[in-house]
Amino acid sequence: MLTIIIRALVIYILVLFVFRLMGKRQIGQMQPFELVLTLIIADLATIPMAELSVPVLHGIIPLLTLVVAHYFLTLISKHSTKFGYFISGKPIIVINPKGIDEKALHSLNITIDDLFEAIRGAGYFNLEEIQYAIMETNGTVNVLPKSAFSPVVNKDLKLKVEETSIPVTLVSEGKLMKDNMNLAGVDTPFINKIMKKAGIEKISKILILTINKSGTIYIQEKNKTSKTFENTEVKS
Amino acid sequence: MSKSFISVIIIIALLTLACVWEQISVEHYLNDIYNQALAIENYVDDKTDVNAPELKKMVNLLDASWDKHEEMLCFLINHKDIADMATEISRLKSYSKTNQEEDFKATIKVIIHYTTAYRHVMGISLQNLI
């Protein structure tokens, strides 16, 4: 039994490493060959994990071989568009200003119902709203609406709005995020000042503390409600 | 150079090392067993007494060689196959002890067959690739 536990841990660490090396794509974003690779890896990993008569190397070697193959396949795809199209296919326009492209649907082997499902998933329920719909290589459909149905943006209204920024987490579950503090240009006395303002005694009691570029602070004590402070001075 | 490129280069180096090590060690270990088994087969070919002291010594040497190589072969060969070989060698010792000539000769042939078969399975050949 102990052997199985150790083998499982070894394979688990290896599979983690393999997936980290493959990148951070989610299943829905995978190219067909990446999905196939994921399925093969899952299958390969289980054999030496559960079957004690199979040497662990018989699982490790093919896993690593697939990683290398995947790396070079991706590398060649990046450098050669033709090869990339051969491996992953290319995006196909399924709806154009003239309407639905039946030939494209036929070549993609999808039905009108599948197309409707996909465009509904993209947030469009009426075909007349769509200028173009493109079936991407990973199977998702992206829609370009007709100008009349495009959402209004600040630019259309000629509104001057402040650029938004990503809030930086300074404290998470009672732990100071030193790298983020450097990024935001704040120090521990600054955190203490905010804590005092929010009525929190210890850093360990903070659930979350974030700050954005404009100096807005969001702080929440564990098991308490959140507080927001506007326009706090932040060193740039 | 990116981290992933370096990782891939390291993996390729490890895979190459593993392949070379496998080819050399399996060939060496199995060849050793094969030669010893062949020597036993030649020795008993025209003999009826399989309990001779010299033959016993040869069988014990074969058993010791197998024990020595078994651990390393466990990394490369299916453990069931390794267990089969160990079983046959144990049988060989037993047949020698009880002087069962026919069974002894049959078992040594099986051992020779196993070593040849393992070498075929582990080696690079068109048959293995297809």
| CATH architecture of the domain with residue range A92-149 | 2-Layer Sandwich (3.30)
List, for residues A85-127, the tens digit of each pLDDT value: 888 888 999 999 999 999 999 999 999 999 999 999 999 999 8
Q: Which stretches of chain B sit within 8 Å of chain A by CB? A: 4-5, 7-8, 11-12, 14-15, 18, 74-80
pLDDT level of residue A209 (50, 70, 90 thresholds): very high
Residue ranges, comma separated, of all CATH 3.30.240.20 domains in chain A are 92-149, 168-229
pLDDT score recorded for residue A232: 61
Local confidence band at A231 (pLDDT 50, 70, 90 cut-offs): low
Asked whether residue A131 carries a pLDDT value surpassing 90, the answer given is yes
- B79: which chain A residues are within 8 Å (Cβ-Cβ)? 52-55
Predicted confidence band of residue A235 (pLDDT cuts 50, 70, 90) = very low
Lowest mean pLDDT among A131-145, A155-169, A197-211: A155-169
Q: Cβ(A31)–Cβ(A137) under 8 Å? A: yes
Partner-chain contact B4 A21, CB within 8 Å: yes
Cα distances from B96 to residues A24, B30, B45, B60, B67, in angstroms, run: 62, 22, 14, 10, 19
Chain B closest-CA separation from residue A18 CA (Å) = 10
User: Which of A64, A65, A66, A74 should we substitute to test contact with B (largest number of B Cβ atoms within 10 Å)?
Assistant: A64
Band (A26; pLDDT cuts 50, 70, 90): low
A54 CA: distance to closest CA in chain B (Å): 5
pLDDT at B113 > cutoff 70: yes
Residue-wise pLDDT for B60-83, tens only, equals 999 999 988 888 888 888 888 888
Q: Mean pLDDT lowest for which of A57-61, A131-135, B39-43, B52-56?
A: B52-56
Task: Tell me what pLDDT residue A27 has.
Answer: 62
Task: Indicate the CATH number for domain B23-129.
Answer: 1.20.120
Model pTM? 0.69
Domain boundaries, chain B: 23-129
What is the percent of chain B where pLDDT is above 70?
Answer: 99
The DSSP secondary structure of A113-168, one letter per residue, reads HHHHHHHHHTT---GGGEEEEEE-TTS-EEEEE-GGGSPP-TTTTT---PPP-PPE
Chain B hits for A64, Cβ within 8 Å: 11, 14-15
Nearest to A55 among B8, B14, B74 (CB): B74
CB contact under 8 Å between A68 and B11, yes or no, is yes
* Mean pLDDT over the full length of chain B: 87
With CA atoms as reference, the chain A residue closest to B3 would be A21
Q: B114 exposed, middle or buried (CB, 10 Å; 0-12, 13-18, 19+)?
A: buried
pLDDT at A28: 63
Write down the mean pLDDT value for chain A: 87
Q: What is the CATH number of domain A168-229?
A: 3.30.240.20
Cα separation of A116 and A114, whole Å? 5
